[in-house]
Structure 1
Amino acid sequence: MKKLISLLLNRLTLVLLLILAQFIVLVWLINFFSNSWQNIQIALMVLSLLMVLYILTRNDNPEFKLAWVIPILAFPIFGGFFYLFFRAQNLNMKTRNHLYNVVKERQYILSQNIDYGLKGNYKKIETFLESDFWPSYKHTNSIFLPSGESKLKVLLEDLKKAEKFIFMEYFIITKSKMWDEILEVLIEKQKQGVEIRIMYDDFGSATKLPLGYYKKLRALGFKVISFNTLKVHLNFAMNYRDHRKIVVIDNKIGYTGGINIGDEYTNSTKTFGHWHDAAIKIEGDAVWTLTILFLENWRFSTKEKISYEDYYLDYKVEKPNGLYVPFGDLPLDKNHMAKDIYLSLISEANESIYISTPYLILDNEMVTALKLAAKSGIDVNIVIPGIPDKKMVYMVSESYVPELLLAGVKVYKYKPGFIHSKIIVVDRKVAMIGTSNLDYRSLYLHFENNIFLYDASSIIDMVDYFIETIADSVLITPQEMKKRNIFYRVIQTILRAFSPLL
């Protein structure tokens, strides 16, 4: 009963109920003006035609266009209106211009750190990242953390060492044992004069935290914001979520990866079998970009005037190892950084590719790159969950497997449960790790962050992670795919047609 009451009273349910109310009002208006229905019908069909023309002229991914054009033409009376209601960007021009100004300032600050003479074995990728003002760093080292349990242990130790500030940015924060342990340390550090800033996504945490939870945290002395607060717009959409996971401590230590805050991430509770995740800890000058990324989103959300330089603390590690390029993705520009890095790494592979992702919803460019790599003799390995968290999305993920198998790509299901890590390792010496899944929503529509790195000893640990994970996984075979009944395949085909909208 308590769960039912909690479900009915959480913010997401209330927002969805208000959206339903809007639809009811729409139906009532149509009924009210039924005498003029023929004119209304013509107007709506004209609107649908205009929307199709608008979509076709946009500089969007072709799969996005088809996913909208097909339903609009199939249902021309309400298709155009439906597009306006769900797909149109729900950020006004003033807000968008504010974001662009914040980004320009970030670009200027980070451009001061770019050493154009610093190039490694993957200089094309490094140059590409520099073109969007993401500098490379070499005075940094890293530790790969192969589970939520290992991340929490090391994170708690580092939080206790904080002297100046702690920044935490997560898609999901859940009231949990994991959060209680972190919160206990944060309260103690705040009493010692350490500045604490916490940012969580309002949609991601909507069912995880009580209404107005940020107020309780502010009462403890923290600076807290709920990113992109859920509101009912006439053109309501669930895009532009803050999917980042960043922790920064004194501009010395930084964390990112797939792990949010909740007991499923440390396997204290079992939701979809064993939760298999990963993170990375970096220490040194590369943390500066994570600091800037956090402050950029904070400024975008609050319009607070912040001097970035106030949070710059020069810190050199004793034993630097490898080269690092932390970077972010924005849904409002046309620079799909994570996707482009995925494509670049796949195309430059000479021996092997290892990828882990909870969702495998690929556009044509990504499918072509993976198939070409496998047909060129590259050992391509992809690990997806054995137990899905979203069944419809999982059906779409499976729909891509047969054509990948035919090209020689090896796809594994993680047998013990759900794999949530987002990692690609190429030739055992270059990698990207962070928050970007291999799906449309993550690569095109959310705020994300990742770290590109090479020649770092932590990459060897990532390879070991894949070897151990594959040992606990089952290789999918063409025979297994053929066993799917016709009804299941038909549903997959339909869902895949609309996969950019999932």
Structure 2
Amino acid sequence: MKTEKLKQNVKGYVHQFEDGGLRLLRKGQKGVIHAIFSRFGLVLILLLLQIGLLFSIFRWFGNLWPHYFGGSVVVTSAMVIYLLNSKMDNSAKITWMVVVAIAPVVGIPMFFYVKSNFGHNILRKRLLELEDQLRGWLPQSQKAVEQLKALEPGAASLAKYLYGRGGGFPVYQNTAMTYFPGGEAKFEELLRQLETAEEYIFVEYFIIDEGLMWGKILEVLARKALQGVDVRVMYDGTCEFSTLPRNYPRLLEKLNIQCKVFSPVQPFVSTHYNYRDHRKILVIDGRVGFTGGVNLADEYINHIQKHGRWKDAAVMLEGEAVRSLTAQFLQMWGILKEPEYEQFLTQPIPVPENAKGVAAPYGDCPLDGERVGEMVYIDLLNRARDYIHIMTPYLILDGELETALKFAAERGVDVHLILPGKPDKQFPYALAKSHYSALLDSGVKISEWSPGFVHAKVFVVDGREAVVGTINLDYRSLYHHFEDAVWMVDAPCIRDIEQDFQHTLEQCRTVENTSASIWQKHYLLRATGMLLKVIAPLL
């Protein structure tokens, strides 16, 4: 592909090739003036104005405070009774009770505002429609179910849940699974597979950022699009704040690449913004699919360093199970139009020679009332016999998941968590440490990866089962984000996952159940963790 032709396609932009990659930079994009007049500046200003208006309203009614104190006990008591009888998670109940008790005038309206989910009811209705439609295009093979029962009888109930209440995700045979212990390995194979695309490439990621990684991928996408390949890119709207300009979709469309932004951030307060597209899916011709923790940005391949070295994980599927990854992409892509299930989900998928085991790619939608990601993790914890080894960047647990972790350890299972030694965010890091003591008391082992930040989301159980995906052990992933993962049984790559865990463990600091070992004399961090734990479900 020639640079001059690209310049003609996207007028007003500079195109730079670095190591064969493509960068699209708008002249004059950076600077204070741009920040002020960009969408980010507008959103920030309008949000501050709305917050100021709310505080002004409370101040104007300041003369009513004596009456407020007289009725607060009755109102707070009624609210506590209501919360105790609600269906929400117990940790969330406790959080809202504290908020209501401390500040009922603010807390009660805030609770009902959040509970109403104002701002996303249309999205919820549409996604549930798409989920119902999708079930008809992903039939469950009874032969695959029988194979699963033969391999791991206890796992059959989890397969039934995923295909039933879990969203209609089948288990598949005829699939080869490859594990990548870091972003670098995934990136290399991804570039190789992209070159084989003949019909379509679907890309759905939480973060896309210009640099070496995205530049090389974009060069291939643009070249393939000019060759007639159907290339579609979707990313989360928060990228407009941190990594990409607001007109990036128009820029990609001039390269014949279709582009959508999931839930662009608008200048109005809404609970809708709780629900982000945290998935990381790339599908090539329906026969090859990637997912895992690796976003499309340079820190994920350690081309640049943020928070020390970056430890991540990903998985590549080849064969029938890719169909579920394709379906998840089409579901999100089809929110504002009719989904193209028939066009892309009925084509035969070649069976690779090295196919072995059973795979079940699945998604988690925060709007359907099912915590699929958490239920899968709890099921694995409950069925583990010898060990369950976990890598996760965050540890902000509700009561059910914390109990499952502790109970597994208490019945003799080797439960071992690897967490970051160098955090990317201080508040989640403080909250994670606030769980350490209770887990260690029950026999759960905790290690922190000394070289840097662990971003992998991995469960491996007894050498027989594993999950690799995007789902963290925190409220955001388990309750508020659109997520995806792959559950694998009896796949050869499960051995590779356990070896990666043990190799990572060699570079870890063992956390002992003492204040000095957990907090390492970071007293402010400890105080922060204790305070934030009260409102953890709201973060």
Superposition TM-score tier, normalisation by shorter sequence: over 0.9
1:474 aligned onto 2:503: no
Letter in 2 for 1:126: A
Distance of 1:14 and 1:113 partners within structure 2: 51
1:73 aligned onto 2:109: no
Distance of 2:334 and 2:142 partners within structure 1: 23
Cα deviations by residue, 1:195-240 (Å, 9 ceiling, x for unpaired): 0111100025531101221111112111110001112334455311
Match of 1:306 among 319, 324, 340: 340
Match of 2:148 among 89, 109, 119: 119
SS in 2 for 1:324: strand
Which residue does 2:45 correspond to in 1?
A: 17
Cα deviations by residue, 1:316-346 (Å, 9 ceiling, x for unpaired): 2223111001100010122111111111111
Match of 1:230 among 258, 265, 290: 265
Cα deviations by residue, 1:38-88 (Å, 9 ceiling, x for unpaired): 789999999877765654443211111221221122112222233355664
Letter in 2 for 1:227: F
Alpha carbons of 1:473 and 1:50: their partners in 2 closer, same or farther (altered >3 Å)? same
Quick check: 2:519–2:525 contact (8 Å CA) kept in 1?
Answer: no
Which residue does 1:497 correspond to in 2?
A: 534
Map of 1:125-144 to 2, 5 A cutoff? 125-131=158-164, 132=166, 133-144=168-179
Quick check: 1:48–1:77 contact (8 Å CA) kept in 2?
Answer: no
User: How far 1:349 moved relative to its partner?
Assistant: 1.0
Distance of 2:402 and 2:64 partners within structure 1: 49
TM-score norm. by structure 2 comes to: 0.87
Letter in 2 for 1:128: Y
* More displaced stretch, 213-222 vs 253-262: 213-222
User: How far 1:89 moved relative to its partner?
Assistant: 1.6
Letter in 1 for 2:340: I
Match of 1:268 among 295, 299, 303: 303
Map of 1:303-342 to 2, 5 A cutoff? 303-314=337-348, 315-342=350-377
Cα deviations by residue, 1:416-441 (Å, 9 ceiling, x for unpaired): 00000000000012101100000111
Quick check: 2:327–2:341 contact (8 Å CA) kept in 1?
Answer: no
Which residue does 1:106 correspond to in 2?
A: 134
Which residue does 2:111 correspond to in 1?
A: 83
Map of 1:416-495 to 2, 5 A cutoff? 416-479=451-514, 480-481=517-518, 484=521, 488-495=525-532
User: How far 1:12 moved relative to its partner?
Assistant: 4.4
SS in 2 for 1:110: coil
Quick check: 2:263–2:273 contact (8 Å CA) kept in 1?
Answer: no
SS in 2 for 1:111: coil
Cα deviations by residue, 1:449-497 (Å, 9 ceiling, x for unpaired): 0110011011111011101100011111123137646665333221111
Distance of 1:105 and 1:20 partners within structure 2: 41
Alpha carbons of 1:168 and 1:200: their partners in 2 closer, same or farther (altered >3 Å)? same
Distance of 2:115 and 2:351 partners within structure 1: 46
Distance of 2:419 and 2:388 partners within structure 1: 14
Which residue does 2:213 correspond to in 1?
A: 178
User: How far 1:307 moved relative to its partner?
Assistant: 3.8
Which residue does 2:425 correspond to in 1?
A: 390
SS in 2 for 1:388: coil
Alpha carbons of 1:396 and 1:7: their partners in 2 closer, same or farther (altered >3 Å)? farther
Match of 2:234 among 179, 186, 199: 199
Gaps of 5+ in 1: none
Gaps of 5+ in 2: 1-28
Distance of 1:18 and 1:40 partners within structure 2: 30
Quick check: 2:225–2:257 contact (8 Å CA) kept in 1?
Answer: yes
Letter in 2 for 1:81: P
Distance of 1:44 and 1:94 partners within structure 2: 35
Cα deviations by residue, 1:346-393 (Å, 9 ceiling, x for unpaired): 111111111000001112222222222222222111000000001011
1:63 aligned onto 2:91: yes
SS in 2 for 1:206: helix
Distance of 2:122 and 2:60 partners within structure 1: 36
User: How far 1:28 moved relative to its partner?
Assistant: 3.4
Letter in 2 for 1:18: L
User: How far 1:243 moved relative to its partner?
Assistant: 0.3
Quick check: 1:10–1:206 contact (8 Å CA) kept in 2?
Answer: no
Distance of 2:271 and 2:442 partners within structure 1: 40
Distance of 1:145 and 1:163 partners within structure 2: 24
Letter in 2 for 1:475: T
SS in 2 for 1:188: helix
Distance of 1:59 and 1:223 partners within structure 2: 41
Quick check: 1:284–1:317 contact (8 Å CA) kept in 2?
Answer: yes
Alpha carbons of 1:406 and 1:13: their partners in 2 closer, same or farther (altered >3 Å)? farther
User: How far 1:268 moved relative to its partner?
Assistant: 0.7
Letter in 2 for 1:72: V
User: How far 1:123 moved relative to its partner?
Assistant: 1.7
Distance of 2:39 and 2:325 partners within structure 1: 30
SS in 2 for 1:331: coil
Letter in 1 for 2:394: Y
TM-score norm. by structure 1 comes to: 0.93
Distance of 1:459 and 1:341 partners within structure 2: 17
Distance of 1:98 and 1:161 partners within structure 2: 34
Distance of 1:139 and 1:397 partners within structure 2: 39
SS in 1 for 2:418: strand
Map of 1:367-406 to 2, 5 A cutoff? 367-406=402-441
Quick check: 2:42–2:267 contact (8 Å CA) kept in 1?
Answer: no
